[in-house]
Each structure stands twice: as C-alpha cells, then as structure tokens.
Amino acid sequence: MAWSWAQKQAYSNQLDMELAQLRRENQMLIQRHRDLINKSWVHKWEKHIREKKMIARMEREQIIWRDRIPLFGVFMHFCLLSTVFALAWNK
C-alpha cells in the first residue's frame, strides 16, 4: 500500500514531534541530574585532596619521630651513665 503525500507528511510531523519531546525529556533529565554529576566530580576531587593531606600528615609524623628517636637514645645513654656513676660514687 502506497502512502499519499499527506500521510507521509503527517507521519513525518508525528516523528518530528516525538523526537522533539524526547529531546526535551533528555534536557530535563540532564538538568535534573546535573547537580548529581557535579557532586560526583567534586566528591572524587575532595577524596583525592583528603588522601593527599593524609599522606602528607603521615610523612610529617614519620619525620618528627625520625628526628626524635635519636634524642631518645641520647637520653637513655645519659640515664644509664648517670645511674652507673651514681652507683660507683656511692661505693
């Protein structure tokens, strides 16, 4: 069955209207979920920054203890020597 020109035009108009409706719905969905998309990106970036800060803090703490442990050794030697000299002095 061949379509007349009017039927083809009506069908074409119907398809154009459906396509326009789908585009509007798509734009509405994009607008509705844009905040979610942006939040997801921001969340990933904030997580990355938190991890970097945590690594920097751990490195600082490690450096602090690396600097303090020799002082602890010096203090222990001082205590040991002072105890030895105190015991030797009291003999």
How far is it, in rounded angstroms, from Cα 55 to Cα 27?
41
**The predicted structure's pLDDT at residue 51:** 94
Side chain identity at 69, as an amino acid letter?
Answer: I
Confidence of residue 41 (pLDDT cuts 50, 70, 90): confident
Q: Where is pLDDT greater, at 26 or 37?
A: 26
CA 44 to chain centre: 4
Could you state, in order of their start, the residue ranges of all structural domains in the chain? Answer: 1-91
pLDDT at residue 7 tops 90: no
**The predicted structure's pLDDT at residue 1:** 61
Side chain identity at 49, as an amino acid letter?
Answer: I
